[in-house]
Amino acid sequence: MSAPTTIDPVERARDAAARESWAEAYALLHAHDRHPSRGLTADDLSVLADAAWWSGHVDESVTARLRAHAAYLAADDHRGAGLAAWWLHYEYLGLGRPAAAAGWLHRARHHLEGLPDCPEQCFLAWSDAEEAQAHGDHEAALAAARRMTGLALDSGSPDLLALSRQAESRVLLAAGRRTEALALLDDAMCAVSADELSGMFTGWLFCLALTQCMEAADFGRAVEWTNAAMEWCAPPWSGHPPEDDRGARTETADAPAPTPLPMSVPSGENPFRGVCRAHRVEVLDLLGAWALAEAEARQACREVPVDCLESAAAAYYAAGDVQRRQGRLDEAAVSYGHAHELGRIPQPGLALLRLAQGRADAAVAGIDLALACRGEADHDVLGLARLLAARTEVALAVRDVSGAAEAAADLDALAGDVPLLRALADTALGSVALARRTADALPPLRRALAGWLELRVPYEAAQVRMLLAAADRAAGDEEAARLELGTARAVFERLGAVPDARRAAALLSAGARRRLPGGLTAREAEVLRLVASGGTNKDIARALVISEHTVARHLNNIFAKLGVGSRAAATAYAYAHGLL
């Protein structure tokens, strides 16, 4: 009888890689590579590097890529060496080692720049576009992106062509050419949705497009692509080796809070899942699906690869926003702290948390510092808009109406006709007009409400209803005010926004006896309202027909009960707790 034919494990690994069964390819090549007598070619080492990365073994991926580069160099294959060097640059950049990344980018240029046009040069052109854009040179960035497109077209690679379209889109968006940019992005994403690309480039395009949509405040596209991305990421994604003991581990929304630093993704799972889930958290947050958003944030922090910690930071920050609006202030502080540990400035959420705690000075300082730290090349338009919206709110809380008006005007200029930004700007403009007690508050507030409802963003819509109620009451329309307050209260209760729901309920029952926040007495609440209106001790004494000494005693009691140390902080507390 003849012996059975044994398929070479390297051939099996190549076949697994061609099928994008990365866990299987990794297990076969890793086992084969452990025997010194069994060498791997440069191409096989590159496959091992890719398989290790997909399987969550980032350090092994870098090691295999280093060996592949050396093998290509020994074979005088400068295209192979150049591509390996560029991937090392990219991986080191993700691991937070910019000096090593810069060195390998230099090597990639050394290998590829003197060669005739080739597909590998697409990656150099992409890096050129990124560097030029970081320096604010839109013309050079666009030239590099279009060179990448030309190389991609010549190569006939759908992967490279889609990536080049996205790169050009990003440059155009940064240059303010929004319509052209989004058309190119849609072109790139057509290739993704049609399943024309490899797994690596599909995941890459999802990550880049989702980031781009959120930064550009294109909420409609963000919703569409986050849903598509999570469907693509859903398990089972890649195959597992036959000998893999998968021992099912179930994650639930009730699992304990994760540690600040996430771990690598488990072997065989899609490493883009945690990154895409982090984007999904932001979308769910805006849509008002807060319980799901918080559960998804926990899961994202478990799944995110070690070279994408900024995604974990975004998930922690979004969880902090949910907790803050639900009145879970201590938990929100912890989440913002984790986001900060992972490199994200947790603003404006942290400033709004400080405002809710009555720490107005900290709120103002935090927002102003975050605005001052933004670089000219920062293209996160939505991030800037949120900072300006929060700056308006904080300024109004400390009675800085001129500062609020300045922030609202900047936001108005930034918004243009982008629906999400327009709703933010109209909310801010209406808030300032209301603070100035002018008749101009109703039009922008009604536009803002229409905008939030069109976007299906419930929390912000309910907040605008609260402002509209105040404007309606100022105009003498008590019935309209009660309708707005009732709707707002119902939305807040459904979302679990406890402090806002209580504030709406209190305004609905204005004039009825109710428990005052902070243990204040009715007289202390009267004094606090007059302080918040800018009254001096003498003014308050005259208004309440009491002595200035009694006013001072009330203020001491108020500061002690609220845990504040200044009139500004007490005013912020009164604003945050609906006492005005």
Return the number of other C-beta atoms located less than 10 Å from residue 235's C-beta.
9
Candidates 360, 428, 437, 421; CA nearest to 394 is 360
Report how far apart, in Å, the C-alpha atoms of 143 and of each of 131, 171, 325 are. 12, 10, 45
pLDDT higher than 70, residue 114: yes
Pseudo-torsion of CA 258, 262, 265, 271, nearest 10°?
110
* Range with the largest mean pLDDT of 115-129, 235-249, 551-565: 115-129
The pLDDT of residue 521:
83
Tell me how far apart the alpha carbons of residues 147 and 150 are, in angstroms, rounded to a whole number.
5
Looking at per-residue pLDDT, the higher value among 238 and 468 belongs to 468
Token pair in block for residue 30: 């890793």
The pLDDT of residue 235:
64
Query: Considering the chain, what is the average pLDDT of its residues?
Result: 88
Candidates 562, 578, 529, 580; CA nearest to 359 is 562
Spatial CB neighbours of 187, under 8 Å, sequence gap ≥ 6: 165
Token pair in block for residue 137: 């040179």
Token pair in block for residue 499: 């402090």
Tell me how far apart the alpha carbons of residues 263 and 308 are, in angstroms, rounded to a whole number.
11
Residue 243: band (very low, low, confident or very high) from pLDDT cuts 50, 70, 90: very low
Return the number of other C-beta atoms located less than 10 Å from residue 562's C-beta.
22
pLDDT higher than 70, residue 267: no
* Range with the largest mean pLDDT of 11-20, 59-68, 272-281: 59-68
Candidates 126, 71, 107, 138; CA nearest to 379 is 138
Return the number of other C-beta atoms located less than 10 Å from residue 6's C-beta.
7
pLDDT, tens only, 320-336: 999 999 999 999 999 99
**Reduced 3-state DSSP string for 503-531:** HHHHHHCCCCCCCCHHHCCHHHHHHHHHH
DSSP state of 157: -
The pLDDT of residue 170:
93
* Opening angle at CA 546, ends 540 and 551, nearest 5: 55
Q: Which amino acid is at 300?
A: A
End-to-end alpha carbon distance in the chain: 95
3-state helix, strand, coil in the chain (%, to 5): 70, 0, 30
Q: What is the mean pLDDT of residues 436-442?
A: 84
The pLDDT of residue 6:
60
Rg of the Cα atoms in the chain: 28
The pLDDT of residue 264:
43
The pLDDT of residue 1:
45
pLDDT higher than 90, residue 408: yes
Token pair in block for residue 14: 């190549």
pLDDT, tens only, 18-71: 998 898 999 999 988 887 666 799 999 999 999 999 988 889 999 999 999 999
Q: What is the mean pLDDT of residues 134-143?
A: 91
The pLDDT of residue 37:
64
pLDDT, tens only, 291-301: 999 999 999 98
Q: What is the mean pLDDT of residues 517-533?
A: 85
What percent of the chain is predicted at pLDDT more than 90? 65
Spatial CB neighbours of 383, under 8 Å, sequence gap ≥ 6: 215, 374
pLDDT, tens only, 161-210: 999 999 999 999 988 899 999 999 999 999 999 999 999 999 999 999 99
Tell me how far apart the alpha carbons of residues 207 and 125 are, in angstroms, rounded to a whole number.
20
Element (H, E) at 331: helix 329-341
The pLDDT of residue 255:
36
Q: What is the mean pLDDT of residues 279-299?
A: 94
Q: What is the mean pLDDT of residues 207-218?
A: 92
Report how far apart, in Å, the C-alpha atoms of 72 and of each of 18, 37, 106, 112, 541 are. 21, 19, 17, 13, 85
Token pair in block for residue 495: 């979302």
pLDDT higher than 70, residue 253: no
Q: Is the peptide bond before 235 cis (omega within 30 degrees of 0)?
A: no
The pLDDT of residue 576:
82
Token pair in block for residue 97: 């080692």
The pLDDT of residue 384:
94
pLDDT, tens only, 441-485: 999 999 999 999 999 999 999 999 999 999 988 887 888 889 999
Q: Which amino acid is at 163?
A: L
